[in-house]
């Protein structure tokens, strides 16, 4: 909660951004079914571009898209895709990954 407040609003950091959409396929080791997830950010959202890891045993896990998104905005890029591993201390390295696609609309 504190972290969210500290991040401030998208509009404060990136006034030129109208919306940010992150579509991802979440894969967790040991679970056969990949899970599609979508997260959207708007000017009034907090600028914390972090997606939680869904593994129950995972500690401090998650996927941080902040660097991806800030680099995209700096380049005025509208779409990007890639993969990320969970950052947390989970049951095993590489216990979960996402394949993401980010789409940014500018005001
Ligand atoms: Zn994790």
> From the CA of 27, how far away is ligand 1's center (Å)?
10
Work out the number of other CB atoms within 10 angstroms of the CB of residue 49.
Answer: 21
Q: Look at residue 70 and give its three-state secondary structure.
A: helix
Indicate the pTM of the whole model: 0.86
The per-residue pLDDT string of the chain (107 residues; one tens digit each, 9 = 90 and over) reads 455 556 799 999 999 999 999 999 999 988 878 899 999 999 999 999 999 998 888 988 999 999 999 999 999 999 999 999 999 876 677 899 999 999 999 99
CA separation for the pair 43, 16 (Å, rounded) = 9
> From the CA of 30, how far away is ligand 1's center (Å)?
13
Residue found under tokens 């979508």: 38
End-to-end CA distance of the chain: 28
> From the CA of 9, how far away is ligand 1's center (Å)?
26
């Amino acid at each position: 909660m504190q972290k969210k407040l500290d991040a401030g609003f998208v509009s404060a950091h990136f006034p030129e951004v109208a919306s940010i959409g992150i579509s991802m396929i979440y894969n967790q080791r040991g679970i056969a079914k990949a899970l599609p997830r979508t997260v959207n950010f708007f000017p009034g959202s907090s600028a914390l571009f972090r997606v939680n890891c869904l593994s129950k045993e995972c500690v401090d896990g998650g996927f941080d898209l902040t660097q991806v998104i800030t680099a995209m905005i700096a380049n005025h890029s509208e779409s990007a895709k890639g993969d990320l591993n969970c950052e947390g201390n989970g049951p095993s390295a590489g216990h979960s990954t996402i394949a993401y696609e980010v789409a940014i609309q500018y005001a």
